[in-house]
Copies of this chain bind each other. A is one copy, B any other.
């Protein structure tokens, strides 16, 4: 009854992408210009070097991170590139419209490109939950809705709660993770067996995704520190140092707990590559707090622990009990470590303060930040999921999930070389 081949996207995908890109060109024509650059020299270079680091993370790191799926690595990598290219252009517009428009014109600068890449990351995180069970049309729509929602969320946080810009952007891990989980839950397929036969790691694709993970891991200090002004050297040093130490600790922690929770003490490569990043996530959220090296190492250790346990126990639990399948386990990599970072932020600030009422006010403020972010992300994630459920978007059949064959021309790859 079901067709033998995955539904063709021949007309739909090119048409949608071309229309979107044309729309972007039109909007760019009317309201984008380059900033007239007048700040002093060295600051320019600083920003460019770190923009490049973030660029490597967005297009290379996230692309290869998800390439572990044995028959889906081209799609993971390619769709990440397609979606990120769109999301960055879209985020330049959205971010500019809400925060930096003057005389009807949005100024593009190194900083606005960097921020746009970070907004795009929130979309790429959400994508990780539904990867393999969707087609590129779903992913494009999801990313555009998600980026719009996340920019709106930072606007709410900055306008009503007076959250500093940097702190509001750092909620991207929590926002992206819960948005993606909700969408994945709304898109759940009854027919998909709990463990899809193609949803596994292969020896060689594992090395590719380890490569992507390593580039994310190495450049994460830039990701957390790039939005700090270059005149604040001590702050910048401490964020870079803390992220570095936290990442080192979470890598160790991923090895420790992956081996400990395995019956024969063997490590799992997908746990390691994902959980080693948890330290960076968990240090990103409280980056405005002043934090000593040992605290950073401790946060990294706990983040790695939480993430590995999430991978081993929480991911299957969610799937079996709620039907919420999370391909790249974004809950363990971004969601839980993000909330850990949020708690660390609260604890650090409260422990530094002598004034009880101030501590209470700060706790309340952080609570509101988290609840707003969770509310907006869960709500919009559910709406996005419902929108994407329409059969007209031509989702791949259950049998064709996690398979490059549905989207890529590989006539000679039908048989394993």
Contact = CB atoms under 8 A, between A and B. Distances in A.
Interface string A341-376: 000000000000000000000000000000000000
B410 A88 contact: no
A17 B255 contact: yes
Interface string A303-333: 0000000000000000000000000000000
A409 B268 contact: yes
Contact of A14 (B17, B110, B259, B407): B259
17 contacts: A9-B265, A10-B260, A14-B257, A25-B294, A29-B294, A34-B237, A34-B238, A45-B45, A52-B218, A60-B215, A60-B218, A85-B249, A89-B297, A136-B255, A202-B417, A205-B207, A269-B410
Interface of A: 5, 8-14, 17-18, 21, 24-26, 28-29, 32-38, 41-46, 48-49, 52-53, 55-56, 59-60, 63-64, 67, 70, 73-74, 77-78, 81-82, 85-86, 88-89, 108-110, 113, 136, 200, 202-208, 210-211, 214-215, 217-219, 221-222, 230-231, 233-234, 236-238, 240-241, 244-245, 248-249, 251-253, 255-257, 259-260, 262-269, 272, 276, 292-294, 297-298, 301, 404, 407-410, 412-413, 416-417
Q: Is the interface of A mostly helix, strand, loop or mixed?
A: helix
A353 to B, nearest CB: 20
A408 B42 CA distance: 47
B262 A409 contact: yes
Contacts of A410: 203, 269
A233 B37 contact: yes
A40 B268 CA distance: 45
A77 B21 CA distance: 35
Nearest to A34: B238
Nearest to A291: B34
